Structure 1
Amino acid sequence: MDEVVKNIVDKYWKKISKKRNVIGYSGKLQPKIIAHKVFPSRKSFRIYVIRKEKVKDLRPRDLVPGILRIGQDYYETDIIEIGLPKALSNKDRRRPICGGISTMHYGFEDDTACTLNGFFKDNQTGTILQASNNHCFSRENKASIGDPVIQPGPYDHGTEKDVTGKLYKYVEIKFSTFSCPIRNFLVKTYRALFGINPKNKVDIAFATVEVPYEIIATYIGKYNGKRYNISEG
């Protein structure tokens, strides 16, 4: 968020947000728009409304000030009608990618539904990585580093054209039982003799991010029909 916008929000937003139809604002100053014409030199504080109404149809308390003062500087407001925003399906293809949407390793036949959990920074390299569960990105330790990750996942009709990154690293899952009965017997005997109890403290795998991404909350509770705020940029 721009420093100027932050100051405007701190000073004015609590009051502006209570006005009729107001639902959000831009996180940075935007060019003024008048009669569908953009004026790049006139930076304004953009306010989003469900419906733009004529001044005569609004109560005085619902009128948004045309000018806002911050210190010795003055900034115009710009009212933009966007309707009532609707969230995109978390199963559809989405760019930029974000937490909460469908994703999966690509290349195995036993596809299932998985979720992109969020983004992390590798402390050693500073690389931003996308994260999901082990079985989603590394297929229970069976995948190879560098394998493709797609969004949406195959279960939600994702294809090789939807690659968002490659398997980067993962925390190996330790299994208590195996399909081979002889191996089960030997492993159980070994663990009993040496007091080994395999425990998985985390279930996570990481992939590179090779498409635009954004860090947002895709779902926060149930919309109550009253008011919510939108911040962009």
Structure 2
Amino acid sequence: MSLFSIKRKYLASMFSKENVIGMGIGKKVSSNKRTGEDSIIVLVSRKKPRDQLSPHSLVPQTVDGVKTDVIEVGEIKALPKPKMTAKSAVNHTSKWRPAVGGISIGHKDITAGTLGSIVYKDGEPYILSNNHVLANSNAASIGDPVLQPAPYDGGKMDEQIATLHSYVPITFGVSGTSCPYAHTAEDIMNLITKLIKPNYEWELKKLNDGVNYVDCALAKPLYPGLLNNLILEVGVIKGTAQAFIGMKVRKSGRTTGYTKGEVLVLDTTVTVDYGFGKAAVFENQIIAGAMSRGGDSGSLVLDENNNAVGLLFAGSDEVTILNPIEHVTSALGISLTL
């Protein structure tokens, strides 16, 4: 049985365990060094000693003869909330005309994200970034203004550079509920719990069907001369490449500027927190090391030869999550070069 089949076979049982938020395929890590041994990677928000876990929550050391590896990654979140920008030779948050990849951009109602790159659809140039950057996590309307720099970085309507052209809707798998029966059940459970554990309470979430493969969107410039196909501090895209474990990657983003990382896990199923009680499950994602912070969402991630590998959309202090570039180009019907 292939690693991919084994991962899918045990996916549901692993996700039922405490703190498990993701599962993928990688190489076993021993003494902080990656070995060449194939492994099923289990991502947890917080790692606990085995003696503090219930028998059900213990991750087996092997599944179908393949070793597992439990990695603590913290809470994985979509990254629209900007942090302070890192020191850089160039300013990623100022107004750029023509606009280039790696700079501040956003829908009029968000804080800030990153312009990933200039892409092409039917021979015309467009701006590529995330749904939650350009389309406000499904809340926007086609034709809405897109500002550069983004509102958080001082962008006003005078800085409109584009309009929202299209996006792939995000299916949120976990959300708050307005169901009166659920609220009644919450009340009953909390009354009982307060007698035993006064500092704890229950909150029921609504589970929705569906998984996601991309968090991506396109904006159409007000006129083509507003854009340049350069990515700040990286250069021009040469083509695309498929990720592999150990691949060296880099990106240019609004918050942390130019950073480097390494691909750690492939074919990852992961739950991403979008805030406001919403979470979404993503399938077949790439996980790289820590190379981003809030506001870097939308950055294009490339290999050392300037081939696009993925679109950055989420992460934590420990890892960065990418949509594989082939999913992005297919979903939006775009090419990265003319």
TM-score between the two structures when normalised by the length of structure 1: 0.49
TM-score between the two structures when normalised by the length of structure 2: 0.34
Larger strand fraction of residues: 2
